Amino acid sequence: MGWSDHRGERRGYHHGNLREALIRAALDLIGQKGPAGFTFADAARAAGVSSAAPYRHYRDRDALLGDVAKRGFELFAERLERAWSEGGPDPMAAFESLGRAYLAFARDEASYYSAMFEAGVSLDAEPGLREAADRAFASLRRAAESVVAQLPAGRRPPALMMSLHIWAMAHGIASLFARADAGRRPLPMTPEELLEAGLLVYLRGLGV
C-alpha cells in the first residue's frame, strides 16, 4: 500500500498527529515538485499548520526529509525481507523476488524512494536513519551471500562486492525505467524483465 492511499484523510493539526501530517505533506510535495522543490514553510502550509508549528518536531527542512527517508528505508527493508523470505524456496528464486520487490518499491513508493536516494540527506542527519538504510542493504547482502555459497569455495566472489553490483543494477533500472513519473524512458520490455536479464548475464559471468 502506498502512502497516497491515505491522501484523503484530514491533514489538520491536533495534538499527536503533527509529525504524521508533516510527513504526508512532504511526501505529497516530493511527488509534485521533487525533494528540492519545496520549503519548510510549504510543508507547513500543505499540512494545514502555521509556519512555526513544524519546529515542534524538526529543526529544519532537512530534518523533515531525513525522517521521511528513515521511514522509507524502514518500509523498504520490510518489503525486501518479505521478498527474500529467508531464501525460500531456493536462493536463486528468492534473489529474483528480491529484485522485483526493489523495482516495485521504487514504482509504488516513488516519493519515499526520492527522499531516500535523491534528497541529498546525510545518513547521519536523523537518529536511526543510517540503521534503517543498513537494514535494507543487509537483505541484499544476505541474498548475495546465499548465492555465492553455491559456488565452489575457490571461485566465490566477495559477497559485499556482488551485493554492491546488484544494488547498482537494480537502482539504475529503478531510477531510469521503473519510477512512477513522466520522465521515465519507454522500454520494449518491463523493468522486471530487464533486471532479470541483467542478473542472468551477471550471475552466469560469475559461474552461478
CA angle 128, 122, 126 (to 5 degrees): 30
Band the pLDDT of 12: cuts 50, 70, 90: very low
Mean pLDDT value of segment 91-102: 91
Mean pLDDT value of segment 18-35: 95
9 pLDDT above the threshold of 60: no
Mean pLDDT of the chain: 87
Pairwise CA distance, residues 27 & 113, whole Å? 10
Pairwise CA distance, residues 94 & 78, whole Å? 15
Kindly report the pTM of this predicted structure.
0.86
Q: What is the pLDDT of residue 4?
A: 44
Pairwise CA distance, residues 198 & 171, whole Å? 12
Which cell goes with 37? Answer: 522543490
Q: What is the pLDDT of residue 11?
A: 43
Q: What is the pLDDT of residue 196?
A: 93
Q: What is the pLDDT of residue 8?
A: 38
The class level of CATH for 61-206 reads mainly alpha
155 pLDDT above the threshold of 70: yes
